[in-house]
């Protein structure tokens, strides 16, 4: 087959996959995890059920693929934020701010059953390890620069940051999130 044909087929497959992920997320958000069927997903995506089954064996596989895409996007965004900021303290602050906003925006988008289902997957544990490593590395850089306390292990400080910023999901506004990040950063200041 000519390269153009292969590219066109691959682009079509990717478009169907993305449409399926979006349709499934919307249906589950609207109707709940247990109420959605493969027929509804196929109809919302605009494809036949047989075609849908060529892409995904069941709803759980679609949800895992959707969640993996979301997690990957969040980690890529955090890495981009980190790479755009200047000095170690600015990088740390930018990543903590971005993480808090992600936490805030992610809460309440899905019902508790869906969240429980998605968060028991290994991909979440892997992403949490990557996030923890990113923050730990930023803390190490900032501590070396004298911007962050060095009397507490960076693993412990990373746990502190992640635990503190988990509260962002329950805050009412971006202003409240910015205050939370400032308070979190205050706890990282070097000891005089």
- 13 and 82 both lie in a single domain: no
Dump pLDDT digits (tens) for 169-179.
889 999 999 99
Please identify, among 16, 40, 56, the residue that sits at the C-terminal boundary of a domain: 56
Indicate if the pLDDT at residue 111 is higher than 80.
no
Q: Which long-range contacts (CB under 8 A, 24 or more apart) does 43-52 make?
A: 45/16, 45/19, 45/20, 46/19, 47/16, 47/19, 47/20, 51/16, 52/20
- 67 and 43 both lie in a single domain: no
Q: What token pair was written down for 56?
A: 């995904």
Identify the pLDDT of residue 113.
67
C-alpha to C-alpha distances, 15 to 19, 64, 77, nearest whole angstrom: 6, 17, 22
- Categorize the per-residue pLDDT at 49 as very low, low, confident or very high, splitting at 50, 70 and 90: very high
Indicate if the pLDDT at residue 6 is higher than 80.
no
- 49 and 67 both lie in a single domain: no
The residue among 15, 33, 181, 153 whose CA lies nearest residue 94 is: 181
Dump pLDDT digits (tens) for 7-47.
788 888 999 999 999 999 899 888 888 889 999 999 999 99
- Categorize the per-residue pLDDT at 1 as very low, low, confident or very high, splitting at 50, 70 and 90: very low
- 104 and 158 both lie in a single domain: yes
CB atoms within 10 A of CB 160: 16
Q: Residue 81 sits in a domain of what CATH number? A: 1.10.357.10
- Categorize the per-residue pLDDT at 122 as very low, low, confident or very high, splitting at 50, 70 and 90: confident
Identify the pLDDT of residue 24.
92
**Whether the predicted model's global pTM rises above the 0.85 cut:** no
Average confidence (pLDDT) over 130-151? 96
Indicate the number of domains in the chain.
2
- 23 and 71 both lie in a single domain: no
- 44 and 88 both lie in a single domain: no
* Residue span of the structural domain in which 10 resides: 1-56
The residue among 175, 182, 137 whose CA lies nearest residue 155 is: 137
Average pLDDT, the chain: 89
Average confidence (pLDDT) over 168-191? 94
């Amino acid at each position: 087959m000519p390269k153009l044909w292969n590219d066109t087929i691959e682009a079509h497959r990717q478009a169907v996959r993305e449409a399926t992920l979006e349709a499934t997320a919307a249906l589950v958000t609207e109707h709940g995890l247990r109420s959605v069927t493969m027929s509804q997903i196929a109809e919302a995506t605009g494809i036949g059920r047989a075609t849908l089954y060529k892409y995904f064996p069941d709803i759980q596989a679609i949800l895992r693929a959707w969640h993996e895409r979301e997690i990957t996007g969040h980690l890529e965004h955090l890495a981009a934020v980190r790479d755009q900021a200047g000095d170690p303290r600015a990088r740390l602050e930018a990543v903590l701010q971005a993480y808090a906003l992600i936490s805030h925006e992610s809460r309440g988008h899905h019902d508790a059953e869906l969240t429980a289902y998605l968060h028991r997957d290994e991909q979440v544990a892997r992403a949490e390890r990557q996030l923890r490593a990113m923050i730990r590395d930023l803390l190490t850089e900032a501590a070396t620069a004298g911007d962050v306390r060095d009397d507490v292990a960076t693993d412990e400080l990373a746990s502190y940051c992640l635990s503190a910023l988990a509260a962002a999901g329950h805050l009412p506004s971006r202003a409240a999130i910015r205050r939370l990040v400032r308070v979190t950063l205050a706890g990282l200041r070097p000891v005089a």
